[in-house]
């Protein structure tokens, strides 16, 4: 049975871990607190890729108070040397007598190694406190580290009758300001954002992150453009940003055409084509090999439909505004052919419903 105090301090560590969102990928977000005599004497989180781990930051803050204390950490401490030394040795050197861990590290190369080593050194280890919350926090890391494919989220904003734009392509704005602010947090958390070239032609978006309270990170911009028809005046080609820009084209696009676009500091990546469109399933292997651990698909309807039919989607986030287009000629959420019968629908589980102003957000997972 989990002690109430263990749960309380682990929740504190989880809140700390969230501070690393957007900065640590492809590493996980991790938080840690050190408790002695019922009081927190040290805390820390993993700030960014290549920087000190959460346990190290917490131990450094605690100093000598860490001796004979309890460490609460949201992910199994590492027992190997990567970009930083193993955290297990730091824990032992600090004299910590008990370690409470939310979840094992799913990395096939290290799973259980840190916990096993600490137990061998006679450290008391408790596993599984707030495990579900820890797994949700690092759902993208878990998918990527175990499959080498990105965790894929489909986001859309629609009217109550399921349209993301009018018949003229007008989509500004379907949802309200609060929903749009939350979408920028989704962009900040994702490694990459993906759209089709039709969205670029119609909306000419920047695909950047704009937040007021923190330094937002722009996701890598991925544009699916089978025939490399992106307009020269597209904002994504002209925008100055530290994040990468990738255009995915069919393998038949000429070398000269690719070279001309790449002069704009854009990487053109040839990929397999299926039924006249980029084979989005095979593309996930390519993007995973590039170290992209999470992707936010923002449209349009053809890309969303292709992603769902290819079964590459892990999570959906649908925003519905209290508006009715009232016709059958607007742009639907999903383009392309659907199933013959209702029993072929894609099931969505673990539903969560939230309000953003007058809008309703439905979040769920696809198995």
Q: If 0-12 CB within 10 Å is exposed, 13-18 middle and 19+ buried, where does residue 61 land?
A: middle
11, 55, 76, 298: which one is catalytic? Answer: 55
E strand or H helix that includes residue 158: strand 151-158
Judge whether 55 counts as a catalytic residue: yes
52's CB contacts (< 8 A; 6+ apart) are 44, 46, 60, 84
* Bond from prior residue into 247 cis (ω within 30 degrees of 0): no
| Phi-psi domain of 200 (left: phi exceeds 0; alpha: psi -120 through 50; beta: other) | alpha
**Residue 115 contacts residue 100 (beta carbons within 8 Å):** no
**Residue 247 contacts residue 266 (beta carbons within 8 Å):** yes
C-alpha to C-alpha distance for 231 and 273, rounded to whole angstroms: 21
List the one residue out of 84, 86, 96 whose CA is nearest residue 121.
96
* Bond from prior residue into 300 cis (ω within 30 degrees of 0): yes
Q: In this structure, are strands 349-356 and 359-365 parallel, antiparallel, or unpaired? A: antiparallel
**What would the two tokens of residue 79 be?**
């027992």
The separation between CA 282 and the C-alpha centre of its own chain, rounded to angstroms, equals 19
User: How many residues are present in the chain?
Assistant: 367
Computed over its alpha carbons, how large is the radius of gyration of the chain? 23
C-alpha to C-alpha distance for 158 and 324, rounded to whole angstroms: 9
Which residues are the active-site residues?
55
């Amino acid at each position: 049975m989990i002690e109430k105090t263990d749960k309380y301090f682990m929740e504190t560590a989880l809140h700390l871990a969230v501070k690393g969102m957007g900065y640590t990928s492809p590493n996980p977000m991790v938080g840690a607190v050190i408790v002695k005599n019922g009081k927190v004497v040290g805390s820390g989180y993993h700030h960014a890729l290549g920087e000190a781990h959460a346990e190290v930051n917490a131990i450094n803050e605690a100093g000598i108070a860490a001796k004979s204390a309890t460490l609460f950490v949201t992910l199994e401490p590492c027992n190997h040397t990567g970009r930083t030394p193993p955290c297990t040795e730091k824990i032992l050197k600090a004299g910590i007598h008990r370690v409470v861990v939310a979840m094992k590290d799913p990395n096939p190369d290290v799973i259980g190694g840190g916990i096993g080593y600490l137990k061998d050194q006679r450290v008391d280890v408790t596993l599984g406190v707030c495990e579900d919350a820890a797994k949700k926090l690092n759902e993208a890391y878990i998918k990527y580290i175990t499959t080498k494919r990105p965790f894929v989220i489909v986001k859309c904003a629609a009217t109550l009758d399921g349209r993301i734009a009018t018949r003229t392509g007008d989509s500004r704005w379907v949802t309200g300001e609060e929903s749009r602010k939350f979408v920028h947090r989704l962009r900040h958390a994702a490694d990459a954002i993906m759209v089709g070239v039709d969205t670029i032609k119609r909306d000419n978006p920047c695909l950047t992150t704009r937040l007021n309270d923190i330094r937002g990170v722009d996701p890598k911009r991925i544009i699916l453009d089978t025939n490399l028809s992106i307009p020269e005046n597209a904002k994504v080609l002209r925008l100055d940003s530290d994040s990468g820009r990738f255009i995915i084209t069919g393998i038949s696009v000429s070398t000269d055409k690719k070279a001309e676009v790449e002069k704009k500091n854009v990487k053109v990546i040839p990929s397999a084509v299926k039924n006249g469109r980029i084979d989005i399933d095979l593309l996930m292997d390519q993007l995973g090999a590039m170290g992209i651990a999470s992707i936010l698909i923002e449209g349009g309807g053809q890309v969303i439909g292709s992603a769902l039919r290819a079964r590459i989607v892990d999570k959906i986030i649908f925003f519905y505004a209290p508006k009715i287009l009232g016709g059958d000629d607007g742009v639907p959420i999903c383009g392309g052919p659907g199933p013959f019968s209702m029993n072929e629908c894609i099931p969505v589980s673990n539903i969560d419903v939230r309000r953003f102003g007058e809008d309703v957000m439905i979040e769920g997972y696809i198995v």
